[in-house]
Every structure is written in C-alpha cells, then in structure tokens.
Amino acid sequence: MTDLILHHYPTSPFSEKVRLILGVKKLPWKSVFIPPIMPKPEVLELTGGYRKTPFLQIGADMYCDSALIADVLEHLQPQATLYPEPEKGLSRILSQWADTTLFWAAMAWSLQPKGAAEVFANAPPEAAKAFGEDRGKMSAGNMTRLRPADATSAYKSYLRRLSDMLDDKPFLLGEVPCIADFSAYHPLWYTRRIEAVKGILDLTPAVVDWMDRIAAIGHGHPAKFSAAEAIAVAQAATPMTVLTDSTFQDDHGIPLGSQVTVRAESFGLEETAGQLVAATRTHYTLARSSERTGTVHVHFPRIGYVLRKAEG
C-alpha cells in the first residue's frame, strides 16, 4: 500500500477523529504538521485551494474532508469496520449530525471567553486575534454561530442524548465503535482539553466513560514527515486511474472533462479549480497541475460541497 500521509495539527478536532480511525484500523501513517491558520502555502500547493484540516494524501491523490477520508480508509482496511450492519445508514446520519450540529455547539461552548483565554494563554497577544480573523474569513458571514448562552443549552441537551444512547451498550450503536462514535467524540475531546470549560462533561458520567474507551484506541503508528517530503511524493507519483463514464452521476449538467470549481457549502469557502475527471454518487475528483507537484487529483465528498462550472 502507498503510504498514508495525514496533513494535520495536534489540536484540530477533525484531525483527532481521523487519527483515531487510523488507530482503530491499526494503519501506519505519516504525520505532516500544518499551520492552524493561513498562510498555508504547502497545503494549497497540494489541494489547489482547500485549506481545512485535515486532508489525507496517498501518492498524488488528496482526499479532503474527514467524511471522505473515513470512506477511503474503510476501503483500504475494511476491519475494524466503521459502518457495521445493520446500523450502516444510521451511523452515517448520526455522524453527519455530530460533525455539524454537535460540533458547532461544542465549539461555541469551548471557545467562550474563559475557554479562549486558556487556549491562547501562552501565545502572543496577537495570536487570538489572528485566529479569530482567520476563522471569520472561512465563514465569510455565510453561517450563523451560536452565542455561548445558546450553545450551553444545546450542548447540555446533546450530551444527555448521547448519554441516553450509552445506557445499555459501550458505544453509541452497539458493542463496537463506528463512524458515529468518532464523529461525536472529537468535539467533546476539544472541550475536555480546556480546564475552564470541561466541567460540562461531568454532568453525563456515561459520556465521560465512553470518551475514555474511545481515547484508549490510540492513533495507530504515525511517523514524522515534512511538507516538502509530501510534495516530493506527489511529484513522483501518478494519480489513481479515474473512474469510467459508467460510474458518472450527473446531477449538474456538467460533463466530465469540464473546468470546474468545488468549495464547501458553509465553512471554508475557498475554491479549488480543476478538470472534473470523476463524479460518482459519493464524491467529485478534480485534476490539477503545478510545477512543484505535477498532476494531482483532489477528491471531495458530494455532501457538504458545491460543484460549479468554471466561469470563462
């Protein structure tokens, strides 16, 4: 198997989700640390515009968004499965809720003033301002954020609901962890890291015990790698063979071979431009080239992303 290269940073919640999935699947991987905020020149060199964290590189293929990364890892290593039967569909729906609704409630609670003060306590004074400005640019006024008071009510309710699901089983949907567990865990993991706000979790002891079980899975077998080495890997590799026309699902009236852009629906609105070389029922693939990387394929999930034909 070609090396798995995860581009991430230690305090990224969605990166923690993927790190644990690598752990449960016992996969070796290479770890490239990237900046939490812009500028991210090496990231953009590989993705063509996508700047969210993390993304997974396999040779000259870049997989964006943790939902798609989970599917890729499931394909490469089916055991332990992230989508056990008969709850396969339910696990995906619960995962999507956790990655969106639960995540934003957790972030609003965790980064209320006392939480943010702790997070940036050892950083230069301008670091908090730079972080806030960076995240503001990622949403560009396109999404409504919860106020801390509203987030408190929502987060407590969501924690109680998760606790109810753990009344008679060790994981959210059964005896083994699934994609829903990893998606619900990572926002809570972020809260738990912050002493000033983590007490909210103590209201639901069953959730804390479940978090301990998830944390015990670990991160598998990472090895340090540099951004320059990752770019060299892309340059030396050939992207995977594109899927045939028989797998093409055309929901947009945009034929394969067209110049297109893809961006997230609501957060991380920077576009990636390239040639549409695949559009299956689950994802889009864009081909793009640069002098440093050669030709790479950048992959996005359909859900949560906007495909448009490039202007001109």
The CA radius of gyration of the chain, in Å to the nearest whole number, is: 19
Q: How confident is the model at residue 50 (pLDDT cuts 50, 70, 90)?
A: very high
Q: Using CA atoms of 172, 178, 183, 189 in order, give the dihedral in degrees to the nearest 10.
A: 70
Half-sphere exposure in the Cβ direction for 61 (13 Å, CA): 19
Of residues 10, 15, 7, 11, the one with CA closest to residue 183: 15
Predicted pLDDT of residue 259? 97
Instruction: Report the pLDDT value the prediction gives residue 129, as an integer from 0 to 100.
Output: 86
The pLDDT of residue 123: 87
Model confidence pLDDT, tens digit, residues 276-286: 999 999 999 99
Give the chain's mean pLDDT: 94
Q: Tens digits of per-residue pLDDT, 70-83?
A: 999 999 999 999 99
Q: Is the pLDDT of residue 266 over 90?
A: no
Structure tokens at 87: 């709850």
What is the percent of the chain where pLDDT is above 70? 96
Alpha-carbon distances of 259 from 65, 103, 215, 256, rounded to whole Å:
21, 33, 43, 9
The pLDDT tens digits for 213-245 are 999 999 998 999 999 999 999 999 999 866 555
Each residue's pLDDT tens digit, 74-110 = 999 999 999 999 999 999 999 999 999 999 999 999 9
Q: Average pLDDT, stretch 40-67?
A: 97
21 versus 140: the higher-pLDDT residue is 21
pLDDT recorded at residue 246: 60
pTM for this entry: 0.95
Per-residue pLDDT, 285? 96
Angle at which helices 66-76 and 179-192 cross, to 10°: 130
- For position 127, what pLDDT does the model report? 85
Q: Is pLDDT above 90 for 133? A: no
Of 112-126, 212-226, 238-252, 255-269, where does mean pLDDT reach its minimum? Answer: 238-252
Tell me what pLDDT residue 19 has.
98
